Amino acid sequence: MTQLNTQFGKVAVLLGGHSAEREVSLKSGQAVLNALQNAGVDAIAFDPKEQPLWQLKELGIERVFIALHGRGGEDGTIQGALEFMGLPYTGSNVLGSALAMDKIRCKHLFKSAGLSTAPYAVVDSKHGFDTTAIMNELKKVMVKPSHEGSSIGMAQANNAQELDAALAEAFKFDSQVLVEQWITGREFTITVLGDDVQPVIEMTTPNGFYDYQAKYQSNTTQYHCPADLSASDTEHLQAMALAAFELVGASGWGRVDAMQDADGNFYLLEVNTVPGMTEKSLVPMAAKANGASFEQLVVRILEQTL
């Protein structure tokens, strides 16, 4: 029988929610809940879509593990509500969550701080834009809604016609869209846990890029952990990731995505403050390569609320 872990009191795992990433969040939250319960923590599942948030107090909850992805859970909204209620929670604070969720403002920050990131344009549905001019400047692009995760609403475009179609789709999710110059090369992700940077993971997929299907549904996606990089490239990438994580005000735990082009240059893509925690997820993979089980990882993240 598992010994009861009383140091945390009663814990709510927030999962599900209202965002476009609800299905992924339900899986992440269930995995986290199982791990906490296996570690003897008095933990329950709590879905803000099904229950009003003030019930956390009624239920005697003392701290919260946030496993909500996307809007409402990863953008500072739930963080602000929990701070107002006086409930400690995992991960980044209001500012760090809100900034990291905003791909466009992250790009502005990276650029102003001198961190390497691909050239880009910002398109707003409320203002006029010239797709031909954008394509002339950037040649081939990746289109990303500013506030979505899990590659939702993302598409690549090779010409103005394709860009028009990609923007029309992206505008279903966000009025502001990031149009980023396409980088042909290797894709990496770097987990930050407290002040520690975990082993770098490289993702390879036949999909063209690491999209929603490659992340959650594909059996052809391959993960290399630690990534096949020189010691100096690994250190450079980890330092770049930590700098980006701290720059946007993120804290606790998270993931930074990056790419390397054919010339060996690294480029920051984005910061994720509540990355996936499913059995296929990257943070547990990096922690495992560093000697921590999924259960130990989840408890370590929760310990940051003490």
- The catalytic site residues sit at 21, 150, 281
* Tokens at 43, concatenated: 């933990």
Q: Helix-strand-coil percent breakdown of the chain, rounded to 5?
A: 35, 25, 40
- Of 245, 249, 278, 212, which is closest to residue 15 (Cα–Cα)? 278
Q: Which residues contact 63 (CB under 8 A, 6 or more apart)?
A: 8, 9, 11, 12, 87, 88, 89, 302, 305
The structure tokens listed for 154 are: 């993302």
Q: What phi, psi does 202 have (nearest 5°)?
A: -105, 135
Name the one residue in this structure whose structure tokens are 């010994």: 3
* Contact status, residue 266 vs residue 20, Cβ threshold 8 Å: no
- Report the candidate in 228, 246, 119, 120 with the shortest Cα–Cα distance to residue 176: 120
Work out the angle between the directed axes of helices 22-38 and 294-303 (0-180°, nearest 10): 90
Q: What does R_g of the chain's alpha carbons equal in angstroms? A: 19
Beta bridge partners of 52: none
Least Cα distance to 115 among 236, 252, 199, 7 occurs for 236
Residue stretches of the annotated binding site: 257, 270, 272
Annotation: binding site for Mg(2+): 257, 270, 272
